[in-house]
Amino acid sequence: MRRLRHACPAPWAPRWAHLLLLLSLLAMPTLAAANPFGMPPSADAPELTLVDRASAWILQTQRDLHRRLTLVLHQLDEAPTVRTAAALILASFLYGIFHAAGPGHGKAIISTYLLTHRQSLARGIWLSTLSSLMQGVTAIVAVLLLIGVLGWLARDTMGQVRHLELASFLLVALLGLWLIGRALRSIWRLWHERSPPEAVPAPAYADGSGDSAGSRAAPAFSRVQHGTTPPGSGMHRLDHPETHVGDRDCGCGTPHHVDPNLRGPWYATVFAVGIRPCSGAVLVMAVSYLLGIWLAGIAAVLAMSLGTAITVSVLAILAVQARDWTRRLLRPTPLAALRYAGPLVGMLGGTVIFLVGWTLFQGTLAVEPLRHPLGL
């Protein structure tokens, strides 16, 4: 599939546009997370730009959906009809789609990861979908457990977000370190395997951790395939599970391919992002529990997560495409021949992910929990 796509570049998009898209995609997560706790640039904006207007529109739509969702939830409490239930699920779904259209650390992590580590489109979409759904499930389980079983107050439950967030941010930072470590290991291997005893062409394992599916199926393409492949791509594609067999003959001479660890970063990303409950989901879940309509709450939260999954998947598709485009763009250049390009890009991604996680962790740790004058 991948090669097919390579063979027919999108005719509507000039090359520089690809690069521009890639750059903006790369910049997006960094910008979103760069200054999460410091002062944003001051000064009043004198003119409303297109971005301002688009933001205002998104803000307005989010506001409307948030209100509709809340009002429908309480309507359902008063008059439980199928119609109201359907309206609740629709409102939640749309809210999920729109709410995810803002900045967020989960999206920053996922897009950075997909930009700097080769993944198939399907895997990118699965990554987004599963982490979004997991955020919803976390919210549901947390509320049922803490409010339902342990009898906590809804407000206390929501206040405990800090711990889950801290855990998520810390895991993100660890994920970044892990990716850096993998990249370094790849570089180390490449360095040491410059003159290996086996008579296997070096580019076949240029990706270090070995995407054996590609390299063995079509050795002739291996150079193209792996020229800029970073280490994280060592994960076997879901659609080729059988390629595990015989991985050892990829030329690395080490048994690391049987290590289940190879799928590690993918699962770790889902987990690190997913343990932070979905935006607004805990509130909806907690309030519906208080109102005694927790089944409706579960349905609403799941619909919301599905909506979020769609938005994040679109971002994932963009990231995977941008990466493919760049690879194609760089193929004729001498850059593609650089054996270390892949691991270096992977290392860059790992560094960004680490910095995002660590900054957020530190920031959250430093922030005093909020006490609102209108709270009790």
Partner 1 sequence: MERRKSLWSGLLGAMLLLAGTATAHPHAWIDLRVSLLFDDDGQLHALRQEWAFDPSYSQLLLEDMDAAEPGLDMDTALRMMAARMLGNLREYDYFTEIRRNERQLETAEAREGELLWRQQRLHLRFELPLEPVRPDRARPLRYRVYDPSYWIEILHDPGDVIHIEGAQGCDSRLERARPAGWLVAYAATLNRNQRAPVEDLGRAFAEQVSIQCDTSEP
Nearer to partner 1, 40 or 255 (CB): 40
Query: 244 to 263, contacts with partner 1 by CB under 8 A?
Result: 260
Q: Which of 19, 21, 58, 174 binds partner 1 (CB under 8 A)?
A: 58
Q: Are 257 and 46 in contact, with CB atoms under 8 Å apart?
A: no
Does residue 96 contact residue 306 with C-beta atoms inside 8 Å? yes
Stretch 187-246 residues interacting with partner 1 (CB under 8 A): none
- What binding mask, one character per residue, do residues 8-47 give for partner 1 by CB under 8 A, x or -? ------------------------x---xxxxxx--xx--
Q: CB 17 → partner 1: shortest distance, Å? A: 22
* Nearest-angstrom CA–CA distance, 348 and 345: 5
* Residue linked to tokens 């049922």: 144
Residue 283 Cβ, how far from partner 1 at the closest point, in Å?
6
By CB under 8 A, the count of residues binding partner 1 is 78
Q: Which range, of 117-125, 157-165, 194-202, 321-329, touches partner 1 by CB under 8 A?
A: 157-165
Q: Are 112 and 29 in contact (CB under 8 A)?
A: yes
What is the C-alpha to C-alpha distance for residues 26 and 124, in angstroms, rounded to an integer?
Answer: 16
How far apart are CB 18 and partner 1 at their closest, in Å?
25
Instruction: Pick the binder of partner 1 from 121, 154, 184, 310 (CB under 8 A).
Output: 154
Among the listed ranges 3-11, 57-65, 211-219, 332-340, the one in contact with partner 1 (CB under 8 A) is: 57-65
Candidates 61-69, 207-215, 217-225, 344-352; binding stretch for partner 1 (CB under 8 A): 61-69
Cβ within 8 Å of residue 337, ≥6 positions away: 227
Residue from 221, 271, 340, 358 binding partner 1 (CB under 8 A): 271
Near partner 1 in 281-310, by CB under 8 A: 281-284, 286-287, 290-291
Residue of the chain from 4, 220, 245, 374 that contacts partner 1 (CB under 8 A): 374
Q: What residues between 82 and 111 interact with partner 1 by CB under 8 A? A: 99, 102-104
265 belongs to the binding site for partner 1 (CB under 8 A): no
Tokens of 43: 């000064």
Q: Is the distance from CB of 312 to CB of 106 less than 8 angstroms?
A: yes
Closest Cα to residue 4, out of 279, 282, 324, 261?
Answer: 324
Residues 186, 118: Cα–Cα separation, whole Å: 14
End-to-end alpha-carbon separation of the chain, Å? 58
Q: Which is nearer to partner 1, 5 or 74 (CB)?
A: 74
Ranges assigned E (strand) in the chain: none
Question: For residues 107-146, which are near partner 1 according to CB under 8 A?
Answer: 138-139, 141-143, 145-146
Residue 49: Cβ-neighbour burial (10 angstroms; 0-12, 13-18, 19+): exposed
Dig out the tokens for 46 from the structure: 């004198």
Q: How far apart are CA 33 and CA 359, in angstroms?
A: 8
Which residue lies nearer to partner 1 by CB, 221 or 267? Answer: 267
What is the Cα 156 distance to its own chain's centre? 29
As measured in angstroms, the least distance from the Cβ of 108 to partner 1 is 10
- Which parts of 68-87 interact with partner 1 (CB under 8 A)? 70-71, 73-74, 77-78
Question: Which of 9, 159, 196, 219 touches partner 1 by CB under 8 A?
Answer: 159
* CB within 8 Å of 242: residues ≥ 6 apart: none
Window of 6-14, 207-215, 267-275, 331-339 that interacts with partner 1 by CB under 8 A: 267-275
Return the sign of the alpha-carbon dihedral for residues 142, 277, 154, 163: positive
Q: Which stretch binds partner 1 (CB under 8 A): 235-243, 273-281, 308-316, 342-350?
A: 273-281
CA 3 to chain centre: 24
DSSP state of 79: S
